[in-house]
Amino acid sequence: MRAFVYNVVLTIFWMAVTEAFTLENFLVGFVICFLILLLARPLFDAPSRRYFTLAWKLPRFVLLMLWEIVLSSLRVAQAVLSPRMPIKPGIIAYPLEVRSDLEITLLANLITLTPGTLSLDVSSDRKVLYVHGMFVDDPQKVIESTHESLEKAILEVTR
Amino acid sequence: MLEWLVYILVLGGVFFLFIAAIGVVRMPDLYNRMHATSKAGTLGVGLILVAVAVFYQELSVAARALSILAFIVLTAPVAAHALGRAAYLSGVKPCKDTYIDELAGHYQANHRLESVETEATQRKL
């Protein structure tokens, strides 16, 4: 967090020095200041240093999210357009490993955007997420694949 | 060249919105309909927004399109969740093809939802 504040402050200095307060110049300055701070990485303490690992983990996470949306839309399109509708719906309980509000929200959103699953509700003690699946052949398999592809990715970004 | 990219993106967006509309009509129950609207709808709107950004080629337009896209990606699943939960609470039954319903009977009278331990959840932990 502190590294991010430094980055923004440095960028403001950059804009002042280059005398151009535009969005383009802000973006250019932000990247340059990020690279400068990257050189000064050893000077930060461990929690602030997470900012630098996030810088490449976050874009990867966003890409994963977008890719999942494309995949799931294709799957829905296939199901909607096929004459006999090969769906096997079911509501399953997904045991949550993530704990904080932000993580649960992210996971619930991602589950809705991934192929064949839609999050319905979280239990009040936040241990279980109820998921509606469109192609539930085996609840265990749905739980495993969600855990492998989504929950781990979220834990990588938030912890 | 760029024009063609815009055409392809808009056509793709319209296609997925159309899929979402067909899905709403064809799917057997509310929960399955939600799948169609939340996924295909998001991708359809997203593709059209990207097409707008490519068409205008201005940073301000692109920034706006991208922020709209970000908010849609964040809010569409929340809407689906709210609708699905409200439907379940007001007693909309899943269609008869529904394979299992582990949510059944876990809502208490005050709308608190208790957690469950099934075979599957225990095997994972």
Tell me the domain boundaries of chain B: 2-98
Nearest chain A Cα distance for residue B17, angstroms: 10
Nearest chain A Cα distance for residue B8, angstroms: 15
Query: What is the reported pLDDT for B76?
Result: 87
Nearest chain A Cα distance for residue B98, angstroms: 5
8 Å CB contact of A139 and B23: no
Beta partners for A88?
A135
**Tens digit of each residue's pLDDT (9 = 90 or more) over A40-52:** 888 888 777 778 8
Virtual torsion, Cα A90, A93, A98, A99, nearest 10 deg: 130
Distance of CA B42 to the CA centre of its chain: 6
Nearest chain A Cα distance for residue B112, angstroms: 6
8 Å CB contact of B73 and A88: no
Strands, DSSP E only, in chain B?
none
Query: What is the reported pLDDT for B118?
Result: 60
Query: What is the reported pLDDT for B121?
Result: 55
- Please choose, from the candidates A27, A25, A30, the residue with its C-alpha nearest in 3D space to the C-alpha of residue A10: A30
Please, which pLDDT band fits residue B11 given cuts at 50, 70 and 90? very high
For A94-122, give one letter per residue: b (16+ CB within 10 A) or e.
Answer: bbbebeeeebbbbbbbbbbbbbbbbbbbb
**Tens digit of each residue's pLDDT (9 = 90 or more) over A88-122:** 888 888 888 878 888 888 888 888 888 778 888 88
**Half-sphere CA count of A21, side-chain side, radius 13 A:** 3
Partner residue facing A73 (CB), from B43, B77, B85: B43
Query: What is the reported pLDDT for B125?
Result: 46
8 Å CB contact of A118 and B94: no
Q: Give the chain B residue whose CA is nearest to the CA of A84.
A: B26
What global pTM score does this model have?
0.78
Partner residue facing A91 (CB), from B76, B81, B100: B100
Q: Show Cβ contacts of residue A38 under 8 Å, excluding neighbours closer than 6 positions.
A: A52
Chain B residues with CB inside 8 Å of A143's CB? 120-121, 124
Q: Give the chain A residue whose CA is nearest to the CA of B82.
A: A120
